[in-house]
Amino acid sequence: MLGACSKTPEADGDVRYLGRYHVTEDGRREMGWPGSGVEFSFTGSSVELPIEDDGRGFMDIEVDGQTRVLALEPGRQLYRIEDPDGDGRADVRVTRRSEFYDTGNFIIEPPVAGEGVTPTPARDLRILFVGDSITAGFGVAGDTAECANSPALHSPTESYAVLSADQLNADFQLVAISGRGVVHNWDHNPSPVMPEQLDFALPDRPDTSWDPALFTPDVVVTLLGTNDWSVIDPGRDRFRAGYRDMLAGLRADYPSAHIVTVSGPLLGGAQGAAIRDGMDWAMAELDDPDISTLDMQLVEHGLKWSCNFHPGRDSMAFMANALSRHIAERLDLPRPEPIIRTPPSGWELGPAHFEKRVAEIKSLPPTGDATLLLGDSITEAWLWQDVQPGDRVLNHGVSGDSTVGLLNRWPLIEATDPARVLIMIGTNDLSSSVPVETIAANVDNLVERLQAAHPDATITLQAIFPRETAMRPKVDALNALYADIAAERGIDWLDMSEVFSEGSGKLRSDLTEDDLHLTADGYRLWREQVLLHDKR
C-alpha cells in the first residue's frame, strides 16, 4: 500500500471520502485514521462496496442511522450494504472502527454495483480533532473499566469527537492515536508524537504528506496531555513549549479556524494541574483571541468507564454535549440538540417509552417559575394533577426510569427555569438490584447539579413510597440515605412513608392496585402532603 499523492476529501465519483487518505499507485484510496471512510447515498435495494484489508480490521456501517459492526476479511472483498427500510433510498456512512496499530490501514473504493449511487453533500461546518485514545474512541464499546480491550471495541463514532460533530451537522477529521502525547508518548513509544503527525496523510507514515488546504476546518479541537503526564514527568517547560508550538503550527495551517483546547477528564490532582498549566501558558504566550478552552468531565453514573478506564458511553455523550454547546456559543450557531442516552431497563417496553417521553418533554412549552416534577412512572401518572392550584407544572416523569436515566436526561432538566423541584426516584433501581449506595450517589449528583444550575429553586427530595413487605429493608435503607443527602445539601426533605404505609410497611391497599403505583386517591393524598409540607 505505498502512496504517491493526496487529493481533496470532497466528492470523488460516486462517494465522498471522509478523513485523510493517500492515493496508491493504482489510483485507489488508502486510509488509516480512526473514523475515516466514505459517505454516499443510493437507490434500489443494495450496493456492493469494495474494501481491501489484511483481515484484522473492523468498520462501522451506518445506513439511515442504523449502525452495525463489520469484521473485514483478508484481501479485496465486496461487502453488500442493503437498504433496511426498503423505501428505495439509503444514506450510508462507512468508517474505520479499529486503529492502525492493531489492524493496519485499508483501501476503500466506490460501490461497484447498485443503483443511483451519489455522494452526500458536504456539510457547512468542518471540525478537525487532534487527540489520543479518548478522541479515537479506544474501548468505548466495552461497558466496564476492567473489560479486555480488543480492536472491535474501539468506536470512533461513539467518541465525544464524532458525536459532537454529528450534533453540529459537521464534517470531521480525526487525527488521533491511542497512547500519543504532545512531547512524550505513554509507553515510551519512539513513534512520532501527535504534533509531528499533523501533516501525515496516514498515521505514523511520514512518507505520506497531507496538504492542510485539502480540509479547511472552521474549528480545531485539541485534547492531548494525558499520555505526557500519566507515567512520567516530561518537564513543565518542555510540555509548555510543546503545546505552544503545536497551537502555533495549527494556527499557521488554519489561520481562520477557531481553536478549542480541551483539558481531558482522566487525570486529576497534580497531573491534571500540569496539563492545565501547559495549556494556559501556551495560550497566554500566543495571545490569540480565537483560541478558547474547555474542561471536560466524566459522568458519575451509568457507563462512566469503558475498557482500561477510558470514558464510557455515558461519559462520551456528556463530553459531546459540553463540547458541541461550547463550539455553538463561540461560533454563534444554534444551540445543538443534546444527546440523551437511553438507559438499560428491566421493563421490555422501557427503552421505547423512554424515547417517547423524552420527545414529549422536549416539546413542552417553555415555562418559567414552574414546579418541576422529576421521577418515574409514579410521577409520570401525575400528568393531570395540579401540585397546587394555579401552579404551572412541568412533569418530567418517565415510566420505568432509574436514577441513571434521570441523570442522562440532565440537559432537559438544565434547560428549565423552575421555582421549585420535587424529586421522587429510585424504586426501579431497587427492582434492578442496584445497591442503595449507588442509587443515593446518583441522587446526590442530581441535587448537586440542580443547585448549581438553578440556585434560586426550592428543591424537595421525597422518600420513595412503601412497597411490598420483602422490599421494606431496602426502601428504608435508601430513604435513610436520601434523608442524609437532604440534610447535607440543605434542601427540603419530605418523608410520607407513615401516611402511605400499612402496619406491615407496604403501600396502603386503598391507595394502590398493584402495591407500587397510586390510584387517584393516592395522588390526592400526595398532593395534600405536599401542601401540608409547604405550610410548615
Give the pLDDT of residue 85: 81
Q: What share of the chain has pLDDT > 90, as a percent?
A: 82
Q: SS3 breakdown of the chain: % helix, strand, coil, rounded to 5? A: 35, 25, 40
Give the pLDDT of residue 137: 97
Backbone φ and ψ of 291, nearest 5°:
-120, 125
Give the pLDDT of residue 3: 32
Q: CB–CB of 460/422 below 8 Å? A: yes
Give the pLDDT of residue 42: 95
Mean pLDDT on 146-170: 95
Give the tens place of pLDDT for each residue, 170-207.
999 999 999 999 999 998 889 999 999 999 999 999 99
Q: From CA 111, how far away is CA 117, in angstroms rounded?
A: 8
Give the tens place of pLDDT for each residue, 54-81.
999 999 999 999 999 999 999 999 999 9
Q: Please give the grid coordinates belonging to residue 63.
A: 445506513
- Could you give the 3-state DSSP secondary structure of residue 229? helix
- Which of residues 480 and 89 earns the better pLDDT score? 480
Give the tens place of pLDDT for each residue, 438-466.
999 999 999 999 999 999 999 999 999 99
Q: Please give the grid coordinates belonging to residue 417.
A: 427555569
Give the pLDDT of residue 387: 61
pLDDT at 104 over 70: yes
Give the pLDDT of residue 9: 45
pLDDT at 115 over 90: no
Give the pLDDT of residue 307: 96
Q: From CA 314, how far away is CA 318, in angstroms rounded?
A: 6
Give the pLDDT of residue 502: 86
Residue 53 banded pLDDT, cuts 50, 70, 90: very high
**b/e burial code for range 216-246 (CB count within 10 A of at least 16 → b):** ebbbbbbbbbbbbbeeeebeeeebbbbbbeb
- Which of residues 516 and 105 earns the better pLDDT score? 105
Confirm whether pTM is higher than 0.75. Answer: yes
Q: Please give the grid coordinates belonging to residue 220.
A: 480545531
pLDDT at 421 over 50: yes
Find which of 2-6, 302-306, 388-392, 509-513 is predicted with most confidence, using mean pLDDT. 302-306
Q: CB–CB of 200/209 below 8 Å? A: yes
- Which of residues 343 and 87 earns the better pLDDT score? 343
pLDDT at 365 over 70: yes
Give the pLDDT of residue 74: 98
Q: From CA 508, how far away is CA 525, in angstroms rounded?
A: 12
pLDDT at 4 over 50: no
Give the pLDDT of residue 12: 66
Q: What is the dihedral of CA 269, 271, 274, 278, to 10 degrees?
A: -130
Q: Which residues fall within 8 angstroms of residue 237, CB to CB, at 6 or more apart?
A: none
Give CB contacts under 8 A, 24+ apart, made by 249-253. 249/195, 249/198, 250/130, 250/198, 250/220, 250/222, 251/286, 251/288, 253/198, 253/199, 253/212
Q: What is the dihedral of CA 184, 185, 189, 192, to 10 degrees?
A: -70
Q: Please give the grid coordinates belonging to residue 119.
A: 455522494
